[in-house]
């Protein structure tokens, strides 16, 4: 979205929600799909034995029902379940023909039209017609293997005006922001909304821990470690992808000072400087420093990968022309500023 905004390109998203996705995986179709995907026979046999003979009964106020054979759904809590569903979803996408279609976002010669993580699927296109065509293809192929779209929870988001759609008599809602994989995505691609949301969540966690911080049985170093272990990770979730501007840096710094003053139960009106509190706590690396460390680690991880999708998205060009005037800060600008190098030197 950052590149699309920079080069004045329209971009359209469809966040697909499957109705009871993990519970609707048909076992017989799953074994067939695994076979077609090239999974070795002995592994398929092991999985069949794992799922064979599963039964369930329903307990009511009048007793229990007869035992029912279970022929759908992957095991809840099993580490194999997301992998099995990924193969199930991959089969759907291959049959849809998304790799062959020209619909999608073109970056550095690659056509990107879908992103998937377990049962969270996102379709992308450069026009409303392309996106609707992709969605209908995925819907048809999904229903062939027993997965149905939950139209009420499926959302559309676009950087340009878009009309409402109707599928099977239900309207697909158009939104200006969406929580995807725990992070807030907005149509303008601005990270400030997500940063504010994470800081607010951090304040709630800090407030909920008041009873622990007020305990006289817990030492100050332990309380500091609690803040770093239970509060800061909530704020830093997904910070590797943030484009942090000066205003957001001030908010992050103010939040950290608020945490330490609350730990000491020192209000803002008290005549005690922030420096004296930091000197007494000795927190080490600041919250902003922790975020920068994670961001640089992620950047290094991407640069070491060869021909990865993430690296293509980071360094590839999207086409189009920049608008006149000063450009908005980009994610790579934060990296180059912190390392004091140019993009060509990376």
Q: Mean of the pLDDT values across residues 34-48?
A: 92
Start-end ranges of CATH 3.30.70 in the chain?
A: 2-183
Condensed to tens digits (0 to 9), the pLDDT of residues 165-200 reads: 888 888 888 888 888 888 888 888 888 999 999 999
Sequence-separated (6 or more) residues with CB below 8 Å from residue 341: none
Q: Which long-range contacts (CB under 8 A, 24 or more apart) does 259-262 make?
A: 259/202, 259/206, 259/227, 259/231, 260/227, 262/206, 262/210, 262/213
Q: Which of 114-123, 187-196, 213-222, 312-321 has the lowest mean pLDDT?
A: 312-321
Taking all residues of the chain, what is their mean pLDDT, rounded to a whole number? 87
Condensed to tens digits (0 to 9), the pLDDT of residues 201-233 reads: 999 999 999 989 888 888 888 999 999 999 999
Q: Mean of the pLDDT values across residues 10-15?
A: 88
Highest mean pLDDT among 244-258, 298-312, 322-336: 244-258
Q: Which residue has the tokens 């990107």?
A: 112
The count of other CB atoms within 10 Å of the CB of residue 287 is 23
Instruction: Say if residue 2's pLDDT is above 80.
Output: no
Q: What integer pLDDT is reported at residue 100 of this predicted model?
A: 64
Q: What integer pLDDT is reported at residue 55 of this predicted model?
A: 86
Q: Which of 5-19, 114-128, 134-148, 318-332 has the lowest mean pLDDT?
A: 318-332
Q: What integer pLDDT is reported at residue 346 of this predicted model?
A: 64
Q: What integer pLDDT is reported at residue 264 of this predicted model?
A: 85
Q: Mean of the pLDDT values across residues 25-48?
A: 92
pTM, two decimals, is 0.83
Q: What integer pLDDT is reported at residue 113 of this predicted model?
A: 86
Q: How confident is the model at residue 35 (pLDDT cuts 50, 70, 90)?
A: very high
Q: What percent of the chain has pLDDT over 70?
A: 98
CATH of 2-183, one of 2.60.40, 3.30.70, 3.30.1490, 1.10.3470: 3.30.70
Q: What integer pLDDT is reported at residue 343 of this predicted model?
A: 65
Q: Which of 7-16, 28-37, 60-69, 92-101 has the lowest mean pLDDT?
A: 92-101
Distance CA 113, CA 98 (A): 7
Condensed to tens digits (0 to 9), the pLDDT of residues 230-286 reads: 999 999 999 998 989 999 999 999 999 999 989 888 887 788 888 888 888 888 889
């Amino acid at each position: 979205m950052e590149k699309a905004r920079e080069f004045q390109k329209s971009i359209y998203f469809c966040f697909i929600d499957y109705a009871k996705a993990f519970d609707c995986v048909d076992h017989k179709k799953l074994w067939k799909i695994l076979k077609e995907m090239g999974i070795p026979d002995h592994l398929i046999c092991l999985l069949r034995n794992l799922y064979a003979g599963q039964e369930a009964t329903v307990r009511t106020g009048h007793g229990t029902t007869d035992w029912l054979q279970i022929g759908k759904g992957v095991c809840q809590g099993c580490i194999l379940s997301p992998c099995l569903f990924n193969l199930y979803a991959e089969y759907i996408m291959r049959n849809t023909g998304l790799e062959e279609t020209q619909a999608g976002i073109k970056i550095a010669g690659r056509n990107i039209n879908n992103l998937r993580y377990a049962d969270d699927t996102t379709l992308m296109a450069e026009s409303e017609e392309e996106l609707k065509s992709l969605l209908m293809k995925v819907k048809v192929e999904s229903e062939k293997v027993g997965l149905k779209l939950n139209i009420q929870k499926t959302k559309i988001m676009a950087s340009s005006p878009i009309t409402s759609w109707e599928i099977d008599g239900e309207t697909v809602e158009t939104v200006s922001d969406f929580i995807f994989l725990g992070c807030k995505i907005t149509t303008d691609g601005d990270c400030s909304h997500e940063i504010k949301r994470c800081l607010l969540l951090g304040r709630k966690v800090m407030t909920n821990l008041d009873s622990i911080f007020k305990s006289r049985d817990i030492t100050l170093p332990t309380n500091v470690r609690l803040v770093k272990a239970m509060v800061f990770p909530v704020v830093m979730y997904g910070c590797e992808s943030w484009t942090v501007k000066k205003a957001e840096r001030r908010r992050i710094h103010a939040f950290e000072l608020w945490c330490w003053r609350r730990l000491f139960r020192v209000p803002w009106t008290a005549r005690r400087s922030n420096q004296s509190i930091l000197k007494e706590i000795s927190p080490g690396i600041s919250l902003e420093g922790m975020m920068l460390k994670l961001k640089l680690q992620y950047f290094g991880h991407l640069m070491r990968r060869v021909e990865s999708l993430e690296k293509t998205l980071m360094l590839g060009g999207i086409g189009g022309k920049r608008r006149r005037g000063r450009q908005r800060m980009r994610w790579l600008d934060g990296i180059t500023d912190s390392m004091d190098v140019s993009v060509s030197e990376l």
